[in-house]
Amino acid sequence: MEKQYCKVGTVTPIAATADAITVLEYQYQIFLDKASNMKYCDTRLGEFFEHKAQKLKGILENLV
């Protein structure tokens, strides 16, 4: 039996793409929107999204 290699679940680093900053800005905005939508119904989830947005903001500041 031969080994088979599958690309399901593989991860491509964002830095490998030419428009990494655009992708990160888009993800940052999505997490901010999700955090504001979840702020009053589920505080833990809202805090999670805020934390993710802050991490992305830090990465963006380092890239620019």
Domain segments of the chain: what residues?
A: 19-63
Look at 30 and 14; give whichever has higher pLDDT: 30
pLDDT of res. 42: 73
pLDDT greater than 80 at residue 53: yes
| pLDDT score for 62 | 86
Q: Look up residue 40 and give its two tokens.
A: 């009053």
For 20-37, the pLDDT digits (tens) are 888 889 999 999 998 888
Q: Which residues of 1-23 are buried (b: 16+ CB within 10 A; e: fewer)?
A: eeeeeeeeeeeeeeeeeeeeeee
Is 90 exceeded by the pLDDT of residue 12? no
